[in-house]
Amino acid sequence: MKTYSQKQYLLISIFLFALLISGCSKDSQEVATSKSAIYFDTPITITIYHDKDNLPPDNIFQDVFDLCSHYQNICDAHTATSELGMLNNRTLNYTTQEEIDMYLVSEELYDMVLAGINAHTNYSNQFDITIAPLISLWNFSERYNLPTAAQIPIPDKEDILETLVNVDSNNLILCHNEQNNEYFIGFSGNNPNIAIDLGGLAKGYVADKIKEHLLENDINSALIDLGGNIYALGTHLNGDDFTIGIKKPYSDTGEYSTTVNVTNKCVITSGIYERYFDNNGTKYHHILSPSTGYPASCDLLSVSIISDSSLQGDILSTTCLLIGKDLATELVEGLDNTSAIMITTDYEVITVS
């Protein structure tokens, strides 16, 4: 069994981002100041563009990384002490309403869960944040990071079917007490086996918060890169758009399939080539179908969403992979100010707007 680690992918992402930055300073007076840190198991890189006599505030980068730390402590499903970890383990404070235990959560966690439920309802039921038990069953993180990964068997069909019983966002119950401005999340029937994973939207949510913070601090030209999910804030100082490369799937050389020019837009890519392992000649990628319990059967290798909202882009990029080329095309065409670049299994590049 051959495994492809998240760390390898991160190194590739950093390399590609360095190439992007080196090629997009188009004004002799423009200076790019960049700093990076690791959050959400991915590199977070903030690059601010400014003239040589107007340096960004000293604290701006640390402020951004403090935001990342704050949200990681809220939505990391793999840490028992995060807010989401405690919600999944039912260790948060709760009140009982109509025989359902409703757990007191932060507004931020409530908003992320609500965004996931809305995507499940409005985009496709294939996007499902209650997929956490299935992710645990497949145990991708152990496969990628341990030398014994080859000894980990593929989950039994019976175990998958048993786990799928608990995967359905319709089993989540949300309540906002407007009088006390309190937010609650509960689980249908108090089912202890329902759990939430926000990996399909958390980085997009955080990127939007970082953008807001930069704007509040008069930063109007920047690239926000969360592990290859990029938001282009403003333009270069001379007014030129930012040029973002779309990685060619499975390329080890940093080759691009295409590029896109953007201003005040996100470019968020999901791909089945990013995290996968080989088992007896079969590739198993990490984007799991809530219908079958197995890696989604894809006619697409990657989907890049270009939109105003990183949260929307993050959700849509995963959703489009799950539903396939034809349904993804129909979905994107029905949305305002949104486009997609899809790369098929035949390496055809399809642009949808």
Q: Are 105 and 183 in contact (CB under 8 A)?
A: yes
At 83, which amino acid appears?
A: E
Cα–Cα distance between 137 and 292 in angstroms, integer?
Answer: 13
Q: In this model, does residue 2 exceed pLDDT 70?
A: no
pLDDT, residue 7, reads 38
pLDDT band at 70 (very low <50, low <70, confident <90, very high): very high
Please identify which residue in the block is written with the tokens 């999910």. Answer: 229
The model carries a pTM of: 0.90
3-class state of residue 216 by DSSP: helix
Which tokens go with 155? 């989950």
Element (H, E) at 277: strand 276-279
3-47 pLDDT, tens digit per residue, is 333 333 433 343 344 334 434 445 568 999 999 999 998 999 999
264-317 pLDDT, tens digit per residue, is 999 999 999 877 777 777 788 889 999 999 999 989 999 999 999 999 999 999
All domains in the chain, ordered by first residue: 2-75+207-352 (3.10.520.10), 83-190 (1.10.3980.10)
- For the CA atoms of the chain, what is the radius of gyration? 20
Q: Which of 62, 102, 17, 220 has its CA nearest to residue 113?
A: 102
Please identify which residue in the block is written with the tokens 């402590």. Answer: 73
Cα–Cα distance between 208 and 349 in angstroms, integer?
Answer: 27
CA distances from 267 to 183, 244, 297 (A): 31, 8, 24
Q: How big is the chain, counted in residues?
A: 353
Q: Where are the alpha helices (H) located in the chain, listed in sequence order?
A: 6-22, 60-75, 83-88, 107-122, 132-138, 140-145, 157-164, 202-216, 310-323, 325-333
Q: How confident is the model over 178-185, as a mean pLDDT?
A: 97
Cα–Cα distance between 118 and 93 in angstroms, integer?
Answer: 25
Which tokens go with 37? 């840190």
CA 60 distance to own-chain centroid = 23
